[in-house]
Amino acid sequence: MSNQLQSFFKTVSVNLSSERIQLCFPTTQFCSSSRLWFSSGRFEDRFKMLGNGLSDGCEVVVADPQLLDDKISAIRTAGPTKLQVIADFDATLTRYWVNGRRGTTIGSHGLLRQGNPEYDKKRRDLYYHYHPLEFSPTIPIDEKTKLMEEWWGKTHALLIEGGLTCDAIKQSVADSIIAFREGVAELFELLEEKDIPILIFSAGLADIIEEVLRQKFHKSFKNVKIVSNRMVFNESGHLVAFKGKTIHSLNKNEHALEMAAPLHDQLGDVDGPTYDNSSVKTRTNVLLLGDHLGDLGMSDGLNYETRISVGFLNDNIENSLDNYRNAFDIVYLNDAPMSGVVKLVSQLWSSDGV
């Protein structure tokens, strides 16, 4: 491992599934209480989850430190003008656990309360019907994609029919159990300073993501685009339609860029640079942030040269770590803060590697 990786990783070698890997512990001050327990025997015995999965530590797995080092060097050589960040929203930018409870998600419109209990129930019923189908291992992807289009279409129709309002969105966000990971604001500010675009992908609703950002950060970020379903409201503030094609859980990738709109346009802040879709396409180096293996597909449609993928494995770690560490370049465990990613990003244009 190079000096630039050693500057923010301590490493411990362990055997996992008959392979030797590196468990890397960030040295950043945010991760001072990192904990990972081992004992002899099988992996299930060596790795122990802490309590309900909520941890204030930053345990990190890097399966191939040399490959990661090579990718960092390639991105640094190309410079910030070639870099973009692609991020999932739920449980990636936001925390998986909030005050000991599962945080609210927006991907399946779970956060939204439209002020009409009858229609809220109808949307919940759709969730209970379609959600198991979304993760069924026996349904072919083409058929599953049609089911997701069907689910999202019915849900959007209920939101219109039930009279969703702008005020209901604001209240739903205010009442929700949702929080950003520590360090997300710092990451956004760092990327904004370097004019590096951030594409936030979500199968939920762009208007809700914008309201969450507004209420939690109380500011806009000029480099942020939301790639999600966007609503159309009439003069009285009632939902009347949705723009463009539907973005659901199986098609949230750069093919959906025509749905993206700069965040500051929605907040009325017109100063500073903007990023049109064509300029994003020229940024061929990618830092991808996600919490599911499927999030790796968010960069589909982009002919990238170098991609560093960061996975947040928040729960079910014993059963999922092997798949995650084989899929992502870096895997953060136990609902880690974003501070390690901030440190990584600073490496991507630093001239001295610190």
Average pLDDT on 175-186 reads 94
Mean per-residue pLDDT of the chain: 80
Annotated active-site residue 167? The verdict is no
Instruction: List, in order, residues 6 or more apart from 352 with CB less than 8 Å away.
Output: none
Confidence of residue 116 (pLDDT cuts 50, 70, 90): confident
pLDDT tens for residues 291-324? 988 899 999 878 899 999 999 999 888 889 999 9
The pLDDT, as a whole number, for residue 131 is 87
How much is the pLDDT for 27? 43
Per the CB < 8 A criterion, the answer to whether 183 and 28 are in contact is no
Token look-up 């859980």 returns 249
Q: pLDDT: is 271 or 170 the higher one?
A: 170
| Domains located in the chain, CATH noted | 57-96+179-232+243-348 (3.40.50.1000), 101-172 (1.10.150.340)
Q: In this predicted structure, what is the pLDDT of residue 251? A: 85
Catalytic residue among 69, 88, 315, 329: 88
Count other Cβ atoms within 10 Å, centred on residue 51.
9
Q: 250-289: per-residue pLDDT in tens? A: 888 766 666 555 555 555 443 444 445 667 778 999 999 9
- Angle, to 10 degrees, between the axis of helix 184-193 and the axis of helix 339-347? 20
Distance CA 168, CA 233 (A): 12
- Which residues does 338 contact at the CB level (< 8 Å), separation at least 6? 93, 180, 181, 182, 183, 184, 186, 187
C-alpha distances (whole Å) from 102 to each of 84, 200, 347 are 30, 21, 32
Nearest to 212 by CA among 301, 112, 125: 112
Is 351 a residue whose pLDDT tops 60? Answer: no
Entry pTM: 0.79
- At residue 303, the pLDDT reads 85
Contact between residue 342 and residue 190 where contact means Cβ atoms under 8 Å apart: yes
Task: With a cut of 90, say whether residue 239 has pLDDT above it.
Answer: yes
Active site residue 45: no
List the catalytic residue out of 56, 64, 70, 90. 90
User: For 9-16, what is the mean pLDDT?
Assistant: 48
pLDDT at 137 (0 to 100)? 81
pLDDT tens-digit map of 201-228: 988 899 999 999 999 998 889 899 888 8
Q: Is the pLDDT of residue 58 over 80?
A: no
Q: What is the mean pLDDT of residues 107-116?
A: 75
pLDDT of residue 42: 36
For position 54, what pLDDT does the model report?
A: 23
